[in-house]
């Protein structure tokens, strides 16, 4: 099969530019990232991919007909050198460990008998059986693009393997360039397209390869193009979305039968089918956008499988209909989820559909037999906190990885013939015997139970005297990120307690969990966070003088609000690219993402109720002379999602308030440290930056008066400085 990326993972990659103050990327379908790269685990080649996100915006719907989709004359475009910005920090390599090997490497894809991937600064391919050797063919040298540390984000191979397309990014911008290389005895770059988000190949009736791609401008993705190469070379605009609150994303169904044109915001979606055998024919509308209805489409045996929130309850459920009768009145309910269930991903096979789920903060895999509608639910190991999905063309097996913040990924395979889940054999990570994972709940002030995930050393004594690092996000219906991070592993090994608070506004318990923490319910997330920290302390996990709090992007809203309302709960805070000036940002419609953010934060420009509500929690609006925890902020100079101006404004106001309080407190008062570390570049969050990791850890240890010698020695086992 020419490509196996799943809709429910790929969409977030596209959506990241549209998730505003979110992480990634990641973002959308939390169909998820975002800029995830692969993790090579011993001999396995696995691609860490984004997951299925819950879309979270809305704007009045707009109807259109197929004539809207007719080719449009391309606008004049700037040259490649003028347009080529790019992306995120190239992933750091992890040191080889005695028990297992881990290496963060780049995107790869298998097609025919070859594997396509990045080796050094080159796009290369090798025979599948030689993928781990040095015997490969160089297809293109990325240095020809004259970019700083270019990085291959994703790869697509044309159906008959005449061409390969690769999306290239760099460390200091989120935009990317798509190159097309003609495969021959002497491979050469055939074309390049700037600012590409998603892209897919199909073959037309005359066996000509057609590349569809979306064009991104100012973090907005509204245009779809299609291009051919060789003697019939052309490049034409195929579709333009006119509603600025929506974005477009392309996905090729796993069987390559249809290319889907997905038009969506955070609360509403619309999908058109492009025939994978006749891509020049007009697309077919599945269902016109309906406010509040989300749906995503896969195909198998002339049937569409639709993951949607239509109907009650308004959580995701699986429906199906005949491909030639796609309208919503023909959708038949096929499978429903339990209450408090989050759909992480979906994968389609010849005779099975596999759902990756989170139910009550635990991971499950549901295997649905499509021939007899049987369902097998597999509860996964309690240490697991996240999935890493694998690109997979083997119809007999469903491979995936499980991970946690302190445990590197472990490989699992569900074999359909045996009806069993097989665990990778080999050395067991020692962290399983030296650490403990707990799942507890905190009662928020309205009685809602808020889940938490806690990690600490098994042999720790008197946990009340141990340092605590709390993580929170709580926005856009996105799960709190719990992928493996070596610095988190080091902290636990050094005696720290880690606590992940899954507050409302996030997506851990489904779509309603998000709805209960957005717009005029945003304060629920703040109440949840306060309840979580108080519950941790009351149950013997650390104390306020040893408690630290960490967040990035939109998570900064809740952290900044808590620092204003309950600063006595914390000793220190680390923030990365934090969203802190909600009111002024949402009133500035010149910013690229303001219109797309209205459904998450509200519209303070036109709605006085929204404006007054935002004023109640906006971190920048509620700073006052009082004692604050110490704060370390990492910001990026050209960040388009969270403008530096708002972060600088927050920092200056905070320092002024602290200075005023210091005068009032009198002699002997020790004011907190406020550090603003502005990094160059235009990326939003650089997860693997050694400089950032070491600066944040150094700050936390110094603020708590702890010796960091052992921690940094252990960190060197993972990171190459």
Compute the distance between CA of residue 241 and CA of residue 263 in angstroms, rounded to an integer: 8
- Give every CB contact of residue 598 below 8 A, 6+ residues apart in sequence: 57, 58, 59, 245, 586
What is the layout of strands, in order, in the sheet containing 151-157? 151-157, 163-169, 177-182, 188-194
Chain CA centroid to CA 659, Å? 38
- Taking CA atoms, 500 is separated from 12, 404, 528, 565, in Å, by 22, 11, 12, 20
Paired sense of beta strands 630-636 and 572-576, if any: parallel
**Burial of 161 per CB tally in 10 Å (0-12, 13-18, 19+):** middle
Asked whether 12 and 250 are in contact (CB, 8 A), the reply is no
Q: Of residues 198, 684, 688, 689, which has the active-site annotation?
A: 684
Paired sense of beta strands 397-403 and 410-415, if any: antiparallel
Sequence length of the chain is 721
Compute the distance between CA of residue 250 and CA of residue 190 in angstroms, rounded to an integer: 22
Q: Which of 377, 376, 349, 347 is CA-nearest to residue 363?
A: 377
The single-letter DSSP state of residue 504 is B
Q: CA quadruple 98, 103, 109, 115: dihedral positive or negative?
A: negative
- Known catalytic residue at 553: yes
Q: Of residues 85, 345, 516, 639, which has the active-site annotation?
A: 639
Asked whether 124 and 131 are in contact (CB, 8 A), the reply is no
- Taking CA atoms, 670 is separated from 10, 204, 663, in Å, by 49, 71, 11
Helix axes 690-704, 486-493, angle to 10 degrees: 30
Tokens linked to 73 = 């004359």
- Taking CA atoms, 320 is separated from 91, 112, 271, 288, 431, in Å, by 39, 31, 15, 17, 43
- Three-state SS letters, 41-68: ECCEEEECCCCCCCCCCCCCCCCCCHHH
Compute the distance between CA of residue 507 and CA of residue 485 in angstroms, rounded to an integer: 21
* Coil/strand/helix, residue 287: strand
- Taking CA atoms, 42 is separated from 92, 126, 339, 482, 611, in Å, by 17, 19, 38, 22, 53
Report phi then psi at 494, rounded to 5.
Answer: -90, 10
Report phi then psi at 515, rounded to 5.
Answer: -60, -30
Torsion of CA 338, 340, 342, 348, to 10 degrees: 0
Half-sphere exposure of 656 (CA within 13 A, CB side): 10
- Known catalytic residue at 79: no
The single-letter DSSP state of residue 595 is G
Other CB atoms closer than 10 Å to residue 281's CB: what's the count?
12
- Three-state SS letters, 536-588: HHHCCCCCHHHEEEEEECCHHHHHHHHHHHCHHHCCEEEEECCCCCHHHHHCC
Other CB atoms closer than 10 Å to residue 458's CB: what's the count?
10
Compute the distance between CA of residue 497 and CA of residue 452 in angstroms, rounded to an integer: 12
Tokens linked to 268 = 């509403």
Q: Of residues 553, 581, 610, 630, which has the active-site annotation?
A: 553
Left (φ > 0), alpha (ψ -120 to 50) or beta: where does 360 sit?
Answer: left
Q: Which helix (H) or strand (E) holds 715?
A: helix 709-715
Compute the distance between CA of residue 178 and CA of residue 169 in angstroms, rounded to an integer: 9
Question: Which residues participate in catalysis according to the annotation?
Answer: 553, 639, 684
């Amino acid at each position: 099969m020419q490509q196996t990326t799943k809709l429910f993972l790929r969409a977030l990659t596209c959506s990241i530019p549209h998730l505003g103050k979110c992480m990634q990327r990641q973002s959308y379908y939390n169909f998820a990232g975002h800029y995830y790269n692969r993790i090579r685990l011993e001999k396995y080649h696995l691609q860490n991919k984004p997951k299925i996100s819950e879309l979270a915006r809305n704007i009045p719907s707009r109807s259109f007909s197929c004539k809207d989709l007719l080719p449009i004359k391309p606008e004049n475009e700037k040259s490649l050198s003028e347009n080529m910005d790019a992306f995120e920090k190239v992933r750091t390599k992890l040191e080889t460990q005695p028990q297992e090997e881990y290496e963060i490497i780049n995107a790869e894809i298998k097609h025919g008998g070859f594997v396509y991937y990045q080796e050094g600064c080159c796009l290369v391919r090798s025979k599948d059986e030689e993928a781990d050797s040095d015997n490969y063919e160089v297809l293109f040298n990325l240095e020809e693009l004259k970019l700083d540390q270019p990085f291959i984000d994703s790869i697509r191979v044309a159906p008959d393997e005449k061409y390969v397309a690769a999306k290239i990014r760099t460390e200091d911008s989120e935009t990317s360039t798509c190159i097309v290389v003609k495969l021959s005895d002497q491979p050469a770059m055939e074309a390049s397209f700037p600012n590409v988000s998603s892209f897919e190949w199909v073959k037309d009736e005359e066996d000509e390869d057609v590349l569809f791609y979306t064009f991104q401008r100012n973090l907005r993705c509204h245009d779809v193009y299609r291009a051919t190469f060789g003697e019939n070379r052309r490049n034409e605009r195929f579709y333009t979305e006119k509603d600025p609150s929506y974005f477009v994303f392309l996905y090729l169904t796993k069987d390559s039968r249809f290319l889907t044109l997905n038009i969506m915001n955070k609360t509403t979606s619309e999908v058109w089918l492009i025939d994978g055998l006749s891509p020049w024919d007009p697309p077919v509308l599945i269902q016109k956008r309906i406010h509040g209805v989300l749906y995503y489409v896969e195909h198998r045996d002339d049937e569409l499988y639709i993951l949607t929130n239509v109907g009650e309850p308004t959580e995701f459920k699986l429906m199906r209909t005949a491909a030639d009768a796609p309208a919503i009145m023909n959708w038949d309910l096929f499978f429903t989820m339990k209450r408090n269930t989050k759909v992480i991903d979906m994968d389609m096979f010849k005779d099975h559909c596999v759902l990756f789920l989170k139910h009550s903060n635990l991971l499950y895999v549901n295997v649905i037999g499509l021939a007899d509608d049987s369902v097998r639910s597999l509860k996964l190991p309690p240490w697991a906190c996240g999935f890493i999905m694998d690109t997979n063309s083997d119809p007999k097996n469903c491979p995936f990885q499980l991970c946690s913040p302190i445990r590197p990924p472990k490989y699992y395979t569900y074999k359909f013939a045996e009806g069993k889940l097989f665990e990778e054999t080999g050395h067991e990570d020692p962290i399983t015997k030296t650490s403990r994972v707990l799942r507890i709940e905190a009662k928020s002030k309205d009685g809602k139970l808020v889940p938490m995930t806690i990690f600490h050393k098994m042999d720790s004594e008197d946990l009340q005297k141990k340092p605590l690092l709390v993580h929170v996000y709580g926005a856009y219906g996105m799960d709190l990120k719990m992928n493996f991070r070596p610095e988190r592993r080091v902290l636990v090994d050094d005696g720290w307690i880690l606590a992940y608070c899954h507050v409302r506004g996030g997506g851990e318990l489904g779509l309603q969990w998000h709805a209960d923490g957005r717009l005029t319910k945003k304060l629920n997330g703040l109440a949840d966070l306060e309840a979580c920290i108080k519950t941790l302390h009351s149950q013997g996990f650390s104390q306020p003088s040893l408690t630290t709090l960490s967040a990035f992007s939109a998570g900064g809203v809740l952290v900044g609000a808590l620092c204003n309302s309950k600063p006595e709960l914390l000793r220190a805070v680390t923030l990365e690219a934090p969203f802190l000036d909600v009111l002024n940002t949402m009133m500035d419609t010149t910013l690229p993402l303001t219109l797309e953010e209205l459904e998450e934060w509200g519209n303070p420009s036109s709605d006085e109720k929204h404006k007054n509500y935002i004023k109640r929690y906006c971190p920048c609006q509620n700073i006052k002379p009082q004692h604050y925890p110490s704060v370390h902020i990492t910001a990026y100079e050209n960040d388009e999602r969270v403008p530096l101006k708002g972060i600088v404004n927050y920092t200056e106001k905070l320092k002024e308030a602290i200075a005023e309080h210091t005068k009032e407190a009198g002699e002997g008062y020790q004011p907190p440290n406020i550090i603003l570390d502005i990094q160059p570049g235009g990326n939003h969050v650089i997860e693997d930056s050694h400089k950032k990791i070491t600066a944040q850890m150094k700050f936390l240890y110094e603020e708590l008066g702890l010796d960091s010698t052992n921690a940094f020695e252990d960190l060197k086992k993972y990171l190459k400085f």
